[in-house]
Amino acid sequence: MDYLEGLNDAQRRAVLAKDGPVSVLAGAGSGKTHVLTTRIYHLVRGGVPPREILAVTFTNKAAREMRERVRALLGDGKDVPFIATFHGLGRELLESYGSAIGIRRFFSVYDRDDSEKAIAAALKALDISTKELSPRAVLGRISRAKGEGMRASEFHEKYGRSSFGARIVAEAWLHYEKALKAEKALDFDDLIAEPVRLLEEHPAIRATAQGRWRYLHIDEYQDTNKLQERLAGLLAEKHKNIFVVGDGDQAIYGWRGAKMENILNFDKKYPEAETIVLERNYRSTKNLVDAANAVIEKNKNRKEKYSTTENGAGDPISIHAARSAEDEARWIAAKIRALIRDGVAPEGIAILFRTNFQSRALEEGLLRAGIPYKLLGTRFFARKEVKDALAWVRLAMDPSREADRMRAASSPPRGLGKVTLGKLAAGQRALLRAGELAKVEQFERVVDELARAAQTLASSEFVKLSIEKSGIRRALLEEGSEEDRERFQNVEELVSIAVRHDATPGKEGIALFLAEAALASDQDEMDQGERSGVTLMTVHAAKGLEFDTVFVSGMEEGLFPHHGMGSEDARDEEEERRLFYVAMTRAQKRLFLTFAHVRTIYGSESLTEPSSFLADIDRSLVVYDGTEGNDIFI
C-alpha cells in the first residue's frame, strides 16, 4: 500500500481506522486534508463502493479541492464519492426525498438579498418601520434560531410575548415562512433545517439515507452548529461510521452559532470513539510552531494538544510598533518591497487584519509603494455601507444628483419604495399619496439640513453629521446585528479620512475629501480578479490558507483582541486567542506582528496599548524590527 508511505504514525492510524466513530484532532499544518482524502481512497481500495461514502465540508472551494484530490487518487473514469458542503448535502437530501414533507424536487433557494427583502415586506405588513428594526438584524436572529434547531412556531411560542424586538422577530418570522411557501422556496438555513426534519419525521427515509451512505466524513467539525451536528448524527445513527476532523484551537465562528463543543464532546456522544491527535506541523518553522503553542495553551477550554515540527528554527518573529495606522501601512509596504527584492514572490505574502476598516490604510500604503495586491472580499470603497455614506455626503453637496438621491433615500430604508422614487425622478410629485409625500418631505428636510451644515462644518464633522442624520449610525450600530456593527467601523473610517481635510472648512474641504474617495474608488474598481500580488484579507477569511510570509496588523488591545462595540457584544477572549492562533499558523517561514501607538477612529486620535497576546510569545522567539526600546511594551 504505497499510498501509506510518507504518513506519520498518527496519520496512518487515522487512514486505517475503518469502522466505528473516529475523531481526528488535527493541529494547524498537520495534513488533515491529505489524511481525509487518503482515508477515502483506502476505503475504496478495501472494497467499499464509492457511492456509499459521503464527505462534507463547509466551503465550495474546500469541497472542490477534496473532490479533485480523491479523483486523482482513484484515477480517471472511476466513480467519486458524494463530496459536498453541508448545504449541498441538504439540497441533495431534499431533491431526493423532500416530497415526503411537501418540498417539490426543483425548489428555488432565496439568497441573502431575497431573504432581506422578504423580511422587509414582513415588517411592513406588521406596520413596523425598518428604522425601528432592520431586516438584516431580524434575519440574523432568525438564522441563529434556525441553527439552534428552532422553528418559527416554536420561536413564536417562546418569544411571542417577550420584549418588543423579540416579539417582532417572532411575528416577522411567521410572515417570512408564508412568503417562502408562497414562492415554493427555501432559504440557506432551511437547507439544513428541512433535511433534519425530514429524517427525524420519516424513519423509512432515514433508513434509506443511512444505507445510501455507510461511511460519513466531516471536515472542520469544530465549525458545525447544533443543527448540522444533528444532521450528521442522524445519518451516522445506524452504522456509526462517522469520521470527523477538526481542531478546537481553530474554532473561530462562535458568533455565527458554531459549537466548538461538538468536537470537544465527540467522545461523550460516541463513547466507543477512537481519538487520534495529529500534532506534527509540516507547514511552519519551529519558531513559529513554538510561538503558536505558547499563545494557544493559555486557553482553558480545549483538548490537550501540542504541535511539533521537524522543520528548522527559521527566522524569529518580528514585532514592529508604528506611530499611526498610516505609518504602520508604510512600514509594511517597505518591508514587502524589500522581501520581493530578495526573491520572495508577492503571491506568497499576506497581510491579515482583524476588522475590515483596517484595509483602507493598508491598501493605500501598497498603492503608494506600487506593490500589486488583491483584496479578498469587498474593497473598502466598494463596500455597500461606505457607498451609502458617500451618497449622503455627495447629495448634501449637490441635491440635484439623482443617482445619489435614489441611493440615499433607501439607505437606510425609510419606507420610500421604487415606485415613489420613480414618481419623484419623473417629476410626478403631485401623484404621491399623503403617506408617501410625508416620507419624502421628511427625507428632504434631512438633506436640506445637511446642505446647510456643509457650508461651514469641517469635513470630518460634516461626515459625522451625515452618518448621524441619515440614520446609518442607528441602523448599523444601534439596531443592527453583530455583522452590522462591524460594518459600522468601515463607515467610521470615512471620518478618519475626512480629518485630513479639516484645515479647509466648508464645502471646499468636503470636496477634497470626496475627490480623495473618488480617486481611491477608481483604483479599487480595477479588475483584480486574475491579478497576482500580495493578498489582503481578514483573519477569518484566511482560515485554511497558508503563505510564505504573513503580516498581522493592528495588534492592539481592543482591536486584536477585539473588545466588541459595547459590553453586550464583548468578544469571547478565548475565541479571540484562537483567532490569533489561526493568524500565526498561516505563516510558513516569516511572521510580522505590527501595531500603532496612535490609531484614528471616527476622526479622533486615540492612544493604544499593544495587544496582550504579544506578551504570550517567549522573548527568545522575537525580534523588534525597527522599534528600538519597544520591548518595554511586551
Q: Which residues are known to be catalytic? A: 32-33, 219-220, 250, 586
Output the nine-digit C-alpha cell for 292.
503558536
What is the C-alpha to C-alpha distance for residues 66 and 58, in angstroms, rounded to an integer?
Answer: 11
CA 143 – CA 158 distance, rounded (Å):
16
CA distance 105 to 393: 48
Phi-psi sector, 629: left (phi>0), alpha (psi -120 to 50), beta: left
Three cell numbers at 216? 460519513
Q: Which residues contact 573 (CB under 8 A, 6 or more apart)?
A: 561
* Euclidean distance between CA atoms 383 and 247, whole angstroms: 32
- Could you list the beta-strand ranges (E) of 518-585: 534-538, 547-552
Q: How far is CA 9 from CA 6, 330, 373, in A?
A: 10, 46, 40
**198-213 b/e (C-beta count within 10 Å ≥ 16 → b):** bbeeeeebbeebbeeb
CA–CA–CA angle 68, 74, 80 (5° rounding):
65
Query: CA-CA distance, 371 to 535, in Å (whole number)?
Result: 11
Distances (CA, A) of 333 to 123, 361, 379, 528, 610: 47, 11, 18, 19, 21
Name 166's Cβ contacts closer than 8 Å, sequence gap at least 6: 141, 159
Strands (E), 119-158: none
Instruction: Count CB neighbours of 609 within 10 A.
Output: 11
Q: Identify whether the C-beta of residue 137 lies closer than 8 Å to the C-beta of residue 164.
A: no
| Residue 603: partners with Cβ closer than 8 Å, 6 or more residues away | 460, 461, 463, 464, 495, 496, 498, 499
- How far apart CA 305 and CA 297 sit, in angstroms, is 9
Q: How far apart are CA 198 and CA 221, in angstroms?
A: 22
Please state the length of the chain. 634
C-alpha 597/C-alpha 556 separation (Å) is 9
Strands 53-57 and 22-26: unpaired
ω into 413 cis (within 30 of 0): no
Contact assessment for residue 420 and residue 432, using Cβ atoms and an 8 Å cutoff:
yes
